[in-house]
Structure 1
Amino acid sequence: MGSTTDKIKGTANEAIGKAKQGVGEATGSERLQGEGAMQEVKGKGQKAMGDAKEATKEAIDRAAGAAKKAAD
């Protein structure tokens, strides 16, 4: 998966998780609250993975640019 895909899925999972927690609180469902919390954490992890992939790609691009410049 690309960094953008990870970030989009992460954002969606965070939003769904928060919604589940809200519904769980409103209905008194501890199970739904727990599921929501887990899904929110999953989303945060996906977004972090997307950020890490993007940072790695940027570092590789900078290194390649510097190597090309040095070769010229």
Structure 2
Amino acid sequence: MTEFEYKTIVIDSKETEHSEKSLSDKLNHYGKDGWELVTCFSYPCIGSSQYSLIGIAQKATLIFKRRLCPEKGASK
């Protein structure tokens, strides 16, 4: 049976809004380490501040997975 491990990261739109390359670099970094993007989602911002508007997503959650490699000498 194939087993996976999962990683969750949060991307702040304020960090990536000026640079698509920055987001691509982050995604490529995870891909080189064997992580595959499974899904992503965002929530509308609740509340207000000088940096956000109600209903505008500020952060996105990305979920990655990668196959677990069996340890050498381990048996199932």
Compute the TM-score of the two structures, normalised by the length of structure 1: 0.34
Give me the TM-score of the superposition, normalised by structure 2: 0.32
Looking at secondary structure, tell me which structure has more helix per residue.
1
Q: Which has the higher contact order (CA 8 A, sep 6+)?
A: 2
Based on CA coordinates, which of the two structures has the bigger radius of gyration? Answer: 1
